[in-house]
Every structure is written in C-alpha cells, then in structure tokens.
Structure 1
Amino acid sequence: MATFNVRPDIDAAAARLSNTLGSKREIQRLPEVLWEGETVEMLATGQYGGGAGLVAMTNLRLIFYKNGIMQQKVEDFPYGKVSSVQWQGGIIMGTLTVYTSGNRADIKNMPKDQGKALADELRRHIAQGTAPGAQPVSQAAGTAPAAGQDIASRLATLDKLRGQGLVSDEEYAQRRAQILDSL
C-alpha cells in the first residue's frame, strides 16, 4: 500500500484501505477540508454526485471529498444531522445511503469491506449523536467551543490529539489553559 506521510491519523486510516486508486490526491489534500481539531478515523473510496472520491469518517462528521483537476467537491454530514444509514452490499462493491433532514445521499461503488465497516461505525456515531468524547469544533480557528461542553471530554480529546502528535506541546499547553479558564 502507498505511504502518504500526511498526518498520523490520515496515514493510519489510508493504510487500512484495500485500494487507493483514484483517491491519492484526496488523501494528500484532506487536511485542507478538515476543521481544527478534527481527526480522521476511517477512509473509504466511492462515487457520489457523478464523481469518484474519498469518504472520510472523522470524529465529528462524514465527508465526501473529490479533488479534481477542474473542480473540488466537499459534502459533509455532521453526525447530529444524520437520521439513518443504510448499507447494501454486492459481491465486491456496495452502496452507502445516508439520510439527513429529508435528503438522501447514495455513495456508490464502495468496496464491500470498507463500506460495511464504515456503515457500522457511522451507525454507532449517529446513535450517540457524535463521537464519544469528541469536542465540537468550529470551522474558524480559535473560536470557543459550544456552551455547556463537558470539560473532561474536551481535555480527553486534547490529550488524544497530543498523543497522536497532532498538537504540539506548546499548543497543548495553550489549549489546556483555555479549557481550564472556561470553568
């Protein structure tokens, strides 16, 4: 399997892909569409809206990302907005259907192993409304988390990011101080 050296969480998820054909550019550029503090848990390939791309499951949302030569497509599905998910698998490929607020998104031609695993994990996320212990983050850097956010889960998420090498020691100390100051 190809080595990407993008970020530890993305590299680990990409290493579990059975095939990265047609998604290498998306894997390399995935950090551009992620929010501050967002980590990738699982990746899959598939087709959505007329193009092949990458499906990324993060600690906050499901993302379909296509980075073509002429255009870029990003569609996300925050776990709190997903009402249900359906997996229909064939011999080799299948379709993941995500239902949100009366809308339906069919991500087709997903490899069976990736699609089934992603559907199962997505069901777990939507049953809980979000990832356990995940800190809702905003797209704008440095903005305050949602009111009433559990301090312990925010600290746990920060510790996890530091452990994965996604946050420097200096940034860790600064963020930890901000969280504790919000008490």
Structure 2
Amino acid sequence: MADRGHRRGPLPPAPRPWPHGGVRTRINAVAFRVASLGVRHAVRRLPEVLSEDETVEMLATGTHGHGTGVLVMTDRRLVLYGHGMLTRTVEEFPYDRISSVQWTGGLLMGTLRVVAAGGGTELRQVPTDQGTALADLLGHRLAAGAPPPPGTAGHIAARLATLDDLRASGAITDQEHRDRRAEILRAL
C-alpha cells in the first residue's frame, strides 16, 4: 500500500535567491490574484522591467498580439509586458501621457484599451473582474491628474495671448484690446 504522506524520489531543488528581492515581494503581493498558468512567465520577468522602489498596485492578464500579456499599474506608470514563443514586448506609458482607458467587457472576458500620446495598446481576453478593476482605478488616477478646467490660470493666459495676437495682427483696436483684457481679468 502506498504511503500518501511521504514523497518518493528526490527532493525538489532548493529555490534560488531572487536577484530583485524587494520588487519581487511587492509583485507577489498582487500577483496571487492573477496567477493563471499562462502568465507565470510574464509575472516572473516583471522585476527586470520595474525599478527597485516601484510599487505594483494592480495587474491584469490577457492576450497581447500572439502571446500572453500582463498590464501592470504601478505608482509611476503603466507597463505592458507581453511574450510569445519567440517575442517579448515591453511598452511603458507614463500617466501624464495617457489620454484615456477603455473597457469593453462581456460576461467573462473583455478588452482593455489604453490610448496614449504616440499610440496605445490593447489587451484582449482579460477576465472581467481584473479589467473593470484596473480600468476604474486607472480612470480615477487619470481624473486626479487631469489638466485644469477652463477658467484657471492656464486657460486665462492662453486667452490673453490670443488677445495680444489679435491686436498685433490689427484685427482689434487698442481700445478693444484694453476692454477685453479688463473683462478677462475681472472674471478671475
């Protein structure tokens, strides 16, 4: 009768020390939620892409191109790590360059699109819970760092510059320039 409590054969090899210990610990804290078989390679390779003091806030997994992809939201940027049989893709998106995030979801899976200056990326077959959570968190992050609404100092400076250009080109008189300038400054 086989003894199920004891393992037969050689013991498994001892784990090797991880070269990026601090980053690995912070990745593990988030990765256990998305630890499916297809993304383990990408999760293991994340310390090569992330800085030592970078904190991983959320992960979403899916397919990118012809392989597996992991979209990583850190405290500094959004990183897509994708890998296939012979390829490896790393795309970085600083938060100030991201213009929008789009989630198109079904019952179980969906597509997460990130639109940024100079392009964007798409992660398909993302589990609905991961996709909605990352899209919501990224949307809140982008809204918090959004440009100031019209009527703030940046907008008023642009209006004054346009007014100066109109006067310089002769489209308005000096008196109209003074009146409109006073009107803009009163709105402050």
Deviations 1:123-181 (A, max 9, x none): 12212339xxxxxxxxxxxxxxxxxxxxxxxxxxxxxxxxxxxxxxxxxxxxxxxxxxx
| Alignment partner of 2:53 out of 21, 31, 37 | 37
Alignment of 1:109-128 (within 5 A): 109-128=125-144
Normalising by the residue count of structure 2, what TM-score does the alignment of the two structures yield? 0.60
Aligned equivalents of 2:47 and 2:118: distance in 1?
29
Larger Rg: 2
Aligned to 2:112, what secondary structure does the other structure show? strand
Q: State the partner residue of 1:95.
A: 111
Aligned equivalents of 1:99 and 1:40: distance in 2?
21
Letter aligned with residue 66 of structure 1:
G
Which runs of 5 or more residues in structure 2 are unaligned?
1-17, 147-188
C-alpha spacing 1:66/1:127, structure 2 compared with 1 (3 Å): same
Q: State the partner residue of 1:12.
A: 29
Letter aligned with residue 118 of structure 1:
L
Aligned equivalents of 2:130 and 2:41: distance in 1?
19
**Size of the alignment, in residue pairs?**
125
| Alignment partner of 2:86 out of 70, 80, 89 | 70
Deviations 1:28-49 (A, max 9, x none): 1110001242111111111223
Give the superposed CA RMSD. 2.1
Does residue 54 of the first structure (1) align with residue 55 of the second (2)? no
Normalising by the residue count of structure 1, what TM-score does the alignment of the two structures yield? 0.62
Q: State the partner residue of 1:173.
A: none
1:95, distance to aligned residue in structure 2 (A): 0.6
Aligned equivalents of 2:54 and 2:62: distance in 1?
22
Q: Which has the higher helix share?
A: 2
Q: Any runs of at least 4 consecutive aligned residues in structure 1 with deviations exceeding 4 A, and if so which? A: none
Which runs of 5 or more residues in structure 1 are unaligned?
131-183
Letter aligned with residue 12 of structure 1:
A
Q: Percent identity, aligned pairs only?
A: 49
Higher relative contact order (CA 8 A, sep 6+): 1
Letter aligned with residue 46 of structure 2:
L
Letter aligned with residue 26 of structure 1:
A
C-alpha spacing 1:48/1:68, structure 2 compared with 1 (3 Å): closer
